[in-house]
Amino acid sequence: MADDKHFNHDHAAHSAKVEHKDHDEHSGHVDHDGHDGGHDGHAGHDDHSDHTDQDEHSGHVDHDDHTDHHAHMVEDFKRRFFVSLILMVPILALSPMIQMFLNVDWSFTGDRWLLLGLSTVLFIYGGKPFLTGAVDELKQRSPAMMTLIALAIIVSYVYSTFVIIIGRGNDFFWELATLIVVMLLGHWIEMRSVMGASRALDELVKLMPETAHLLQPDGSTKDIPLADLKTGDKVLVKPGEKVPIDGEI
């Protein structure tokens, strides 16, 4: 039993409008001996508990699915980055502007068509996340960074393809390749950082208590989820436990 002085703790003076995850089932804590006439209300609370547990279980599944989806996207950007990086090397080597800058001549018969083929593969495979992202942004009528990147690589690819076909002018496939590789690298690093921060928040949430000991008018306690606390409720904090919610002592 806790000391009597703990019954004077008022830790729910502030509104309990906080989202809490991973609440355990608490229907087993509802029944109290010697409280005739209150069982009907308790039974209704049990039903609410079952409903809450179902909602929370659904939330856990959604959260796990979101985490798995995020991890899949990180791996997808990683894979696309390294494949695009490998493709970028021959594209740079075959680009006339790069050869002119290095003062070398690596041209051969059909080299420009090979350059077009490699650039097409890079444009489709490496540029897919940006192209699909731009479509989503335009559907939502909120163009942003994906739209800008997609516009840049589309213009570069279309113009350079036209140059190869007519056989005149300078292509910009090397710029297309470097832009896609740099953007893939940036998004991969960004998503890894976001995923790391999300995991840190998940670990922080696990440190929070899942239930609170709500004080009843007769001095008994009832364990309830933190989300069920209301302004003015009084809770018991037993020795060694963590304070479940902000309030006044």
| Helical axes 145-166 vs 173-206, angle rounded to 10° | 160
Number of domains into which the chain is organized? 1
pLDDT at 67: 63
Q: What is the pTM of this model?
A: 0.58
Q: Is residue 4 part of a domain?
A: no
Q: Is residue 174 part of a domain?
A: yes
Q: Tens digits of per-residue pLDDT, 145-192?
A: 999 999 999 999 999 999 999 988 889 999 999 999 999 999 999 888
Q: Is residue 186 part of a domain?
A: yes
Residue in 52, 61, 58, 160 with CA at minimum distance from that of residue 115: 160
Q: Is residue 36 part of a domain?
A: no
Q: Is residue 211 part of a domain?
A: no
- Are 249 and 10 contacting, i.e. CB atoms less than 8 angstroms apart? yes
Question: In terms of residue numbers, what domain contains 118?
Answer: 70-205
Is residue 95 packed enough to be buried (19+ CB in 10 Å), middle (13-18) or exposed (0-12)?
buried
- Please list the ranges in the chain whose pLDDT falls under 70: 1-67, 69, 205-206
Q: Is residue 39 part of a domain?
A: no
Q: Is residue 92 part of a domain?
A: yes
Q: Is residue 37 part of a domain?
A: no
